[in-house]
Structure 1
Amino acid sequence: MKQRGRHRRRRRARALRAVLAGTALSLTTAATLISASQAEVADGPGPLRALDLPAARSELRLTEHRVPAHWLDRLSSAMGRPVGAEAVLGSADRELRDAADCAAEERAALPVAPAATRAYCWSEDDTRGWRPGAVTTSQDASADGRWGGHRVILSAWSSDDRDGHGDSSGEGGPAPHRDAAPPPADRPLSRIAFVDADDPDRPRHVSALLVVPVDGGRGYRSLGSPVSGMVWYRDKLLVTAGAGDRDTLYVYDMDRVFRAGAGGRSAHGHRYVLPAVASYRPADGAPRPAALSLDRTAGPAGVIAGERVPADAGRPARLWRYALGADPARTGPLAADAAGRVDAVEAYETRAAGIGGVLAHRPPGSDRTGWYLTLAAREPGGRAVLGRQDGADAEVTECGADRSKHCWSGDTGSLAYDRRTGEVWSQSGRALFAVPLASIDAALR
């Protein structure tokens, strides 16, 4: 049986490589036809410029705010006991399709160069009315790379459909306890898809609505903003909030997932609800992180953040790092002082515009950390740029006969590094994909 399974995986791997190679070839050909205005990209944004840390601290400082414990207790009494990883992943019954089974227009969202070596597609029924956001994996969460014994990918999605009609996934289902107060219908929706990746041939998923407790824990509202950045560290999930929210990051407890009420009425058809347990608030006018990732390669683990600045803003963007803490008195995962203040431990300026994803990685034996960035396309429907910077240099990938720099996916997706396989995960359109970091480095050379 095991031998047949190995042969089946090898055949699928060969088929996938052929499909992705063919897709990359056709997309590379298409890239040569990109208009001159899009192909004319500078060789790179130049090296990073280190910021004076004491001055940067005041601008990048966050303050932790905890959701009161009695609010969470009241919400728990209304929704029942939280469920664990086994219950959540055990109910995952929606399948992702292997890239070999994806339509051509779905594979068109994949990077041109370097090409993905693993890719899956979401069903149109599961994503209609929803936009893809950030990605993180259980490799970020724990030393053994598992959550509750499972390999898991988390995929964020947002919808402007405030009534939840964009969700036709049929994820609602009966639950044995009464509803909490439903979220107001005048806010956009945000959700996390839990992907069971134990079997890479048949990944399955189920979604939970991201919410924030309100009214003393008597109800909750939707997070209501796109999740462009996300980090999973230990039992906490850190997600970005949009500019319309006074908080810039929200904290979710992965051991506090609740079943929605009967038929999912309190969660717009979702089976599960994930309520925030804390948040981080910036100073007025401070930069807000749009991209997040976890870095375990440069000393103690830290959260990497980047702000998204448009090309016509006339100022550089900032990249920075927060240290992670282990203080049991703190709800959030970031290292904070007794007053809940969190300061950056490293900060830079970059001339890169439209940052959508950021990843920091220091190769073993090296004293230089590379900062990998995905940068927005210059025009609607175009492709993003993938580059790398450090304090001395900068490179971007190239593709096509005209050496276009727009070689990444159709969207500037987030980046998450899987240290077990050496792959970088991202998503674009209805495609979830992985590219070896070694391939990215080769393309950047």
Structure 2
Amino acid sequence: MKQRGRHRRRRRGQALRATLAGTALALTAAATLISTSQATGSNSPGGLTELRAGPAARHLRLHENPASRESLDTLSGSMGGNVGVEGVLADADRTMRGTGDCSGRERSALPVEPAATRAYCWDGADARTRAWQPRSVTTSGDAEATGRWGTRKVILAGWTRGADTTASTGRDAGFARVAFVDATDPDALRYRWVLLVAPSAGGKDFTAVRAGLGGMVWYRDKLIVTAAHGKGLLVFDLHRVLRAGVAGAAVGSTGDGGFSAAGYRYVMPAVGSYDPEGGSCGRPGAAPCIGSLSLDRTTAPASLVATEAATDRAERTRVWRYPFDTAPYRTGLRADARGRVDAVEAYATKGTGISGVLSHRAAGARESRWYVGRPAGSGARHAELWRQDVDGARAATCTADQSHACWGLGPGALSYWPQTGELWSMTDPAARRVLFAVPLSSVDASVG
């Protein structure tokens, strides 16, 4: 019976994917019948303006701060050794629902044009909780050129405790967790939560990390995420995932040789950070607070793409990139002998409120295209997804109302999976949370 049920679910999943793919093609074709000429309205972010070397570039400089290797090893030893990604996925305890099992309310949060070809909804309370907010996504397509981590396809989704970590209060305000999703079988996604922590007391203890997780990139064996309030970046090692043996509400050592992690079975300790060299971000004339991240494998070397965090005061937003190091013994950003990390390309855009950024250069193209997701304005439920370059900006035009509010509900971070050609993102309102993928070629076709 179980075997027949599994086959039925697999056939149903295959049929749903075929239906979704057909819907995506139909909607894309409809979109191309509508004018998608260069957008010039007040809601357009306009073309990108290059920021030349000088003070503007120096404001983007980061400083690398590695954690003590000795303290990390001490913590690993005290907690029984590293279990890694495979250990977490083998212990997955939650199931993601396929499109057919998502509610109509959840499906209504998906992009209008272009349509998603893959979509998944979260399990049980995770779909409804208001205490945690989904913020960012990255995949094994970022991590490795093969698109796999070992034998598995993996998606990592970052969630933050408290919808607004700046204003939230309480013991666990700003806590950060990552869903490790086994996506090897597209018809049966399963996941497990991992709490982000930082070693303390020389590795004899740990504390919970407070991170905004507006952006997250998995490159080789490192996970780089935005810190709380966008004040720099935090770095984690995917080989250093540890098991907490005590199922208690506390975070850290229990004093009797055990460790607890607020009810989570697994933790991942930070192995370093990148801090704004000029001090705290967000002050006039200082470094921008970092809002979202993505990986661009079309540059040489691969680069970390970043955007400035949304503010109410900003009239322009900066987007830029840092190169990854190509040395075989390093997997972080490229730093000089003094630990300084400089941006290699930076632009300003009139687009404000950006919560997702992606840069990608198509085969044979001379320049990269930049994609930014942002709210469509007051009264608009869906977000906008704009494609920008130095010449201007374009966005899909929705068939129904001729607006640009065609993207997912609540603009989430963007991540490109090169091996499949898919652009991944998430919607974020409670009870309408969906992890979805859209072919990047469909996005380009929808904007003309």
Report the TM range for the smaller structure's normalisation: 0.7 to 0.9
Q: Is the partner of 1:367 in helix, strand or coil?
A: coil
Provide closer, same or farther for how the CA distance between residues 22 and 296 of structure 1 changes in structure 2, counting only shifts above 3 A.
Answer: closer
Q: Is the Cα contact below 8 Å between 1:241 and 1:248 reproduced in 2?
A: yes
8 A contact 2:288–2:309 mirrored in 1: no
Partner Cα separation in structure 2 for residue 75 and residue 147 of structure 1? 24
Deviates more, 1:52-61 or 1:4-13: 4-13
In the superposition, relative to structure 1, how do residues 367 and 226 fare at CA in structure 2: closer, same or farther (>3 Å)? same
- Decide whether the 8 Å contact of 2:24 with 2:114 is kept in 1: no
Aligned residue in 2 for 1:179? none
Equivalent residue for 2:118?
Answer: 118
Q: Name the structure 2 match of 1:345.
A: 344
The aligned residue for residue 169 of structure 1 is none
- The residue type equivalent to 1:66 in the other structure is P
Which of residues 148, 151, 154 is equivalent to 2:150?
Answer: 148
Q: Which runs of 5+ in 2 are unaligned?
A: 28-39, 165-169, 250-259, 280-285
Q: Runs of 4+ in structure 1 displaced over 4 angstroms?
A: 4-11, 16-26
SS at match of 1:313: coil
Is contact 2:95–2:190 with CA below 8 Å preserved after alignment? yes
Question: Could you say which residue in structure 1 is the equivalent of 2:368?
Answer: 369
Letter paired with 1:113: E
Q: Which amino acid aligns with 1:126?
A: D
CA distance in 2, matches of 1:421, 1:77: 38
| Farther-moved stretch of structure 1 (109-118 vs 81-90) | 81-90
Instruction: For 2:71 and 2:289, locate their aligned partners in 1 and report how far apart those are by CA, in whole Å.
Output: 27
Q: Are the counterparts in 2 of residues 235 and 253 from structure 1 also a CA contact under 8 Å?
A: yes
Question: Pairwise mapping of residues 158-197 of structure 1 onto structure 2 (< 5 A)?
Answer: 158-160=160-162, 185-197=171-183
Choose which of 187, 197, 200 in structure 2 pairs with 1:214: 200
Kindly provide the amino acid, as one letter, of the partner of residue 248 in structure 1: G
In the alignment, residue 251 of structure 1 is paired with which amino acid? V
Question: Which of 262, 272, 275 lines up with 1:278 in the alignment?
Answer: 272
Q: Aligned letter for 1:411? A: G
Q: Give the C-alpha shift of residue 18 in structure 1.
A: 4.3
Structure 2 partner of 1:437: 440
Aligned residue-pair number: 406
- Alpha-carbon spacing, 1:402–1:187, altered in 2? closer, same or farther (3 Å): closer
Letter matched to residue 114 of structure 1: P
Give the Cα separation in 1 of the matches to 2:150 and 2:305: 25
Change (3 A) 1:147 1:157: same
Residues 6 and 344 of structure 1: CA distance in aligned 2, closer, same or farther (over 3 Å): farther
CA contact (8 A) 1:309 1:316 kept: no
What's the offset of the Cα at 1:23?
11
Instruction: Give the letter for the 1:59 counterpart.
Output: H
In structure 1, the partner of 2:30 is: none
- Whether 1:228 aligns to 2:214 is yes
Deviation, structure 1 residue 87: 1.5
Measured after TM superposition, the shift of residue 298 of structure 1 is 2.9
Report matched runs for 1:280-359 at 5 Å. 280-282=274-276, 283-284=278-279, 285-310=286-311, 312-327=312-327, 333-359=332-358
Q: Distance in 2 between matches of 1:11 and 1:95?
A: 17
SS state at 2:228 partner? coil
1:136 paired residue among 122, 135, 138 = 138
- Aligned-pair distance for 1:11? 4.4
TM-fit CA distance, 1:185: 3.2
Q: In the alignment, is the contact (CA less than 8 A) between 1:304 and 1:322 conserved in 2?
A: yes
Hey, what's the Cα distance between the residues in 2 that align with 1:364 and 1:6? Answer: 39
> Would you say the 8 A contact 1:195–1:204 is kept in 2?
yes
Say which is worse superposed, 256-265 or 403-412, in terms of deviation.
256-265
Distance 2:18 2:109 in 1: 16
1:407 corresponds in structure 2 to 406
Asked if the contact 1:358/1:372 (under 8 Å) is kept, the reply is: yes
Q: In structure 1, the residue corresponding to 2:192 is in which secondary structure?
A: strand
Tell me if structure 2 keeps the 8 A contact 1:188–1:222.
Answer: no
Match of 1:248?
A: 232
Aligned to 1:94: 94
1:401 Cα shift?
3.4
Residues 277 and 82 of structure 1, relative CA distance in 2, 3 Å threshold: same
What is the CA-CA distance between 1:314 and the residue it aligns to?
Answer: 4.5
Post-superposition CA distance 1:173-198 (Å, at most 9, x none): xxxxxxxxxxx935431100000011
In 2, the alpha carbon distance for the partners of 1:433 and 1:327 equals: 34
CA distance in 2, matches of 1:112, 1:439: 12
* Structure 1 match to 2:56: 56
- Asked whether the equivalents of residues 24 and 112 of structure 1 are also in contact (C-alpha less than 8 Å), the reply is no
Q: CA offset at residue 143 of structure 1?
A: 1.6
Q: 1:394 to 1:6 in 2, by over 3 A?
A: farther
8 A Cα contact 2:422 2:437, kept in partner = yes
Aligned amino acid, residue 332 of structure 2:
P
TM-score (norm. length: structure 1):
0.84
- The C-alpha deviation readout for 1:354-388, integer Å capped at 9, x for no partner, is 11110111110110211000012423772211001
Cα distance, 1:84 vs structure 2: 2.6
Q: Distance in 1 between matches of 2:41 and 2:392?
A: 17
Matched, 1:269 2:269: no
What is the rounded CA distance, in whole Å, between the counterparts of 1:409 and 1:391 in structure 2? 25
Shift of 1:242: 2.2
Deviation at 1:262, TM superposition (A): 2.0
Q: Give the structure 2 partner of residue 32 of structure 1.
A: none
User: In the superposition, relative to structure 1, how do residues 214 and 8 fare at CA in structure 2: closer, same or farther (>3 Å)?
Assistant: closer
Change (3 A) 1:160 1:261: farther
